[in-house]
Structure 1
């Protein structure tokens, strides 16, 4: 029944398992060989003990075809066969020992091949199935099922096509077809599934939409069974598609009338399109748009009419956030346009489809308002300086200063302050501040203001001393309606002034001996002029408050005086009909000689400044003392008495005689006009000093008369000098 493989040991040494595997299995017996498919046959056989697998063999009787296949159990299927062909089949069992001998052969014929089906859905209620003629097929059987689950129909036909009608739209149907051989054996089957076309979409709605700034028409519909795509087509040739409702037709243009229909699509094709629906797209925006300024803070926005428009909406947005709007069927709207504001202006057209896209947006700026709170002052004769509150919308300001209708100075600046220079002093100017913008020019409706420049600088013509404490100041001044102030300022900062509307005035209250700078200022309602150039002026020195004349000798006097401000030197004079005496001193005193005794003098002093300014000063008169007597004689009298005798200067003079000697002094005074007097109790033989001097009215004795020495002898002798 078999043979041992070379790898096995001697029989007596092998286990039973090895012995069983070393023997080829028995030959199987085929029960049947049946073809269910056109390229395979199923062979049923009796399995044998010890076989691990089986080899199925198919061959043609003429040996032109030979094929083997492996199976592990019964039944087994051998494939790769030709349809409707006779074959001989045998089976061999296999184990570790090898193959058995082939079984007895059995013949079988493969069935007819399956028809090659093609299907279409001409409409949403029919399917057409067609196939090529199957050789040797005498008849065809078919079955029709819905969604491959519910069998609807079956039948036989000798045609090679089926026309199935009365079907539901958008539903998948499966058709199975097989041919029959002449001997009545059914051939291999084939199935094809075909969906019917979808039904026509209904409930179509159109609506205008804005997508990324472009207007379109949103098309919506009710979904239909079996459709996996929808296409909306417009009369303008624009279409859109979507698996779900809605889709948007990007019509692009505004102001159109569109006719739109919807078609549903699936694998079978397209449905019938829906009935066209007309749609007016959103209207176009008005263009151009312009602004008319009506005056009085009112403006009008004007535009041209647009097609398919029911009404218009205008929007006015101010740059401070305030907004206005206007709905109208006309082509204009009025709005309040205040000065100094920027406005964004736009107009939209409206109809039942919606609002137009945004059209031209006007950015209009009204002229700036005229400045308020203007403050003007004149810091100098040729300048007007002004400042004001900035106004909305102004990019710059022009400031005009006008005299006699012609702009004299124009200042152009972005700041809300201006300095007008190079003007004429003491002149009225019409000043206008004009706000300007780069886009709309200047607001020329602002009212001017009249402002005057400060007076022109006067010039001091002359300064002269009026008195020891006042000066006269004269000047040149051409200012109109000006008040003038003359100012005298000393070195210590002391100020003295006088005022006048003319060309001169007197400054009083000055200090003698002081130096002053003199200037003049002109003033009007516009302000003060620049002070004139200063003129220095020196007041004559002060007279000394006190002057004293003291007679030193009969012919010499000492004149002294108090301090005099501003004086450097002094010239003193003593004047009388008998003559005069003078002295010139840098000190506060001087000695004057050659004085005549008994003479009344007029005393005058002239104070002199370092620059030579003089101030004459007059004082009380001075009388020199009486002249000392001459011819003085001393005579001894009886009773130890001495007589003093002299020659008087005048008969009205009073004299006193003083006799001194031996430690004793004796005095005597005669009556008025007398020239002798006696002294008693003198001692003879002594030397006496005798002084005879005039007596002043105040009883003082003139001290500078010279003394005489006399010796008094014994009785009978004459006195001797």
Structure 2
């Protein structure tokens, strides 16, 4: 290394000589002279020289044999930096101007001072500071001084050859300034090393500890300590260590453990370190919540609460709060408490331990639900043969009701949340042991509920037979297995309701109306209730006989029987019976015509009313006497100019008759005396055609009008229109023609021959009687003459219907001068 620089020195000198020779022509600056060179800082040397005219700057060079350091400065003094401490340097200087650079000055030696010691300071105690440093090159001693950083107070200075020094009797928590430097063998001090150090604080005093049992935390406070930046509170137990840090004079330690004893201490600290811990304060926390809590209800209505013992617990309090808000508690130093309880309640149970620190934390809250209450007011609202519906008041604590009905080995159940139950599929007339159990999810079924007996309604009877006796009494027979039952049989129909009752197996009903349809049912009844009605059995009573029956003579051999409607009857059979025979008819109507009736005969009248199903009612009525027979041989005889005798032949039996003559001039009636067969009519106008009817009188006084009528012409005596005399000995035969009714007829023409006609007004063409009239004065008609009846129109012209007429021979009538003309067919 040395050789290197040394070899360079000649080359460097040759260059300088050359430069000088070149610059001589330009006047290079003068070479400065170093006045002195010294070192005040271990990494620099300061050089002083005489100023060179014309120089604008100077180049300082420091060489220690290994390195060369150059520094450009403007004027004297100048300092070369970046040097090594305690090192000998050869210093040269050159002046520089615009014309060039001068030659180096003669060298001058200077040595840098010692380096400053590197201090390590600490405060091992509140009243001392320990200063330590490493050895300094070329140092033989050290000088260390200390004073308060604020400049107040005295300065302590110590010289030592050691590399550490302790200053004592200092003020705690105070900031000090420490200055240290090294000496070399020449007594020249080196660089200063200055640092600040604060003494550690003293331990805090007047410590106060308060405990929050609810939050399990401790609040610690103390008097502030001089120079303390921060404080640390320590809580130590056998199993844990807790702390809190603060710059204030109070701190809270959280998360303390229950049932634990802690030692509380406070440390003050600053940048120098921490104080010693204060004398610890003892803190006992609250006891932990008791564990292993057991709750029993034995017997029902009594709760027993037990728990395990806990550390630091002086006594215990158990709180029991029911779900209705009522709360009770007990204090004890033992580990068990007893309480009264009620059914259907949920109790919330908490156990706390207490000591001087307060109440233990809240542990588990236990809820205990007692068995639900049992229903007590079980009422059957419906009891039938196979079903029982019961209701009860809701009970406390019941979430579900389980109802059972037990009959021997048969069990019927129903479960429901509602306070009602319908037990179905039961046996009729059976006694059941019914229990309603209350159920809760927490406690299950309350097995202490009592039962009650309920008997189902009786079984429905079964009608086996319905019969009717000779007195129209309905007898109903049934079969049933009920005990002590009363049976009611009803007949329901359109005519109303009829019933009978019995405790046996039959009963009778009378007075059911005829012609009705009934539904027969039977019901059993016991103290338990009524059974369902039996299956109905239809019953039809015989039809009612018609209330009224009327017999009316229509003709001599035909009568009309009519009657009122018989309720329930659909068909009627009418029978008239006498010694002469029987007349019968079958009809759906309420009347019937019976023929072949003999006149003047007494008949028995019977009627059968028959229903649609064939039930028959035999109805009897009063006997009926048919009308008297119509008289025979009705004849007319003249009695003087204005009198007529009507004569007839009375048939068998005695009867009264009435005679009526109908003419254009009036109606004439006569009634003969009893037993006579003729009747005289006086003051009858002649010259008219009369319709003659002889009628028998019925027992009721009514005149029967079904006998045949005859027409006679009565002439006036002494007139040209005299009565024709007929000689019956000659047995003359007369004919008359009857025209069919093809036109409205106003006149009838009579003639002895087709050329001679006499017209007579008449209102009937069905049947009529004609008195013979004289034809042109002749009183006797020729044997070959005929009576012709021809229709004529109202205009008098002959109608063409004469060819349609048919002939009927007249029969001579004996006696008198009257001639009978037979009625037409």
Same topology, TM > 0.5: yes
Q: Map residues 122-137 of structure 1 onto 2, 5 A cutoff.
A: 122-131=124-133, 134=136, 137=139
Q: Do structure 1's residue 57 and structure 2's residue 61 form an aligned pair?
A: yes
Determine the structure 1 residue equivalent to 2:422: 419
- 2-structure distance, mates of 1:75, 1:207: 71
Bigger mean CA offset, 408-417 vs 542-551: 408-417
Q: Is the 8 A contact 2:656 2:697 kept in 1?
A: yes
Q: SS where residue 436 of structure 2 aligns? A: strand
The offset of 1:456, in angstroms, is 2.6
Matched, 1:401 2:405: yes
Offset, 1:365: 1.4
Distance 1:48 1:248, change over 3 A: farther
Structure 1's unaligned 5+ residue stretches are 1-21
Are the structure 2 counterparts of residues 91 and 671 from structure 1 closer, same or farther at C-alpha, using a change threshold of 3 Å?
same
CA deviation digits over 1:227-278, x for unaligned, max 9?
54636263526334444253648665x4344445444455555533332433
Counterpart-to-counterpart distance in 1, 2:244 and 2:696: 158
Structure 1 residues 23 and 251, CA gap change in structure 2 (3 angstroms): farther
> Would the aligned equivalents of 2:289 and 2:363 in 1 still touch at CA under 8 Å?
yes
Q: 1:237 to 1:526 in 2, by over 3 A?
A: closer
Deviation at 1:520, TM superposition (A): 3.5
Q: Secondary structure at the match of 1:307?
A: coil
Correspondence for 1:174: 177
Tell me the secondary structure at the aligned position of residue 176 of structure 2: strand
The answer as to 2:314 corresponding to 1:310 is: yes
1:532 aligns with 2:537: no
Q: Is the 8 A contact 1:633 1:646 kept in 2?
A: no
CA apart distance, 1:106: 4.0
Structure with greater Cα Rg: 2
Match of 2:784 in 1: none
Work out the CA distance in 1 between the residues paired with 2:154 and 2:578: 178
Q: Does 1:562 align with 2:658?
A: no
Consecutive unaligned residues of structure 2, counting only runs of 5 or more, are: 1-25, 713-722, 730-813, 821-825
Looking at structure 2, the residues matched to 653 and 183 of structure 1 have their Cα atoms a distance apart, in angstroms, of 207
Cα pair distance change 1:98/1:571, threshold 3 Å: farther
Partner of 2:435: 432
Alignment of 1:337-348 (within 5 A): 337-348=341-352
Matching of residue 356 in structure 1 with residue 360 in structure 2: yes
Cα deviation for residue 570 of structure 1 reads: 1.0
Q: Map 1:188-587 to 2 at 5 A.
A: 188-206=191-209, 221-227=222-228, 228=230, 230=232, 232=234, 234=236, 236=238, 238-244=240-246, 245-246=250-251, 248=253, 252=257, 254-265=258-269, 268-293=272-297, 297=301, 299-319=303-323, 324-335=328-339, 337-371=341-375, 376-378=380-382, 380-387=384-391, 391-403=395-407, 408-414=411-417, 416-464=419-467, 473-479=476-482, 480-482=484-486, 484=488, 486-490=490-494, 496-498=497-499, 500-502=501-503, 503-504=506-507, 506=509, 510=513, 512-522=514-524, 528-576=530-578, 579-587=581-589
Counterpart of 2:189 (choices 177, 186, 189) is: 186
Select between 518-527 and 310-319 the one with higher mean Cα deviation. 518-527
1:274–1:674 distance in 2 versus 1, CA, 3 Å: same
Instruction: Supply the distance in 2 between the matched residues of 1:359 and 1:277 (Cα, whole angstroms).
Output: 28
C-alpha separation in 2, matches of 1:69 and 1:622: 184
Distance change (3 Å), C-alpha of 1:173 and 1:508: farther
**Superposed, which structure 2 residues align to 1:574-653 within 5 Å?**
574-576=576-578, 579-628=581-630, 644=647, 646=649, 649-650=652-653, 653=655
How many residue pairs match? The answer is 689
- Please say if residues 475 and 504 of structure 1, whose CA atoms lie closer than 8 Å, have aligned partners that are also in contact: no
How far off is 1:162 after superposition? Answer: 2.9
Which structure is higher in strand share?
1
Q: Taking structure 1 as the reference length, what is the TM-score of the superposition?
A: 0.80
Compared with structure 1, are the counterparts of its residues 233 and 44 closer, same or farther at alpha carbon in structure 2 (3 Å cutoff)? farther
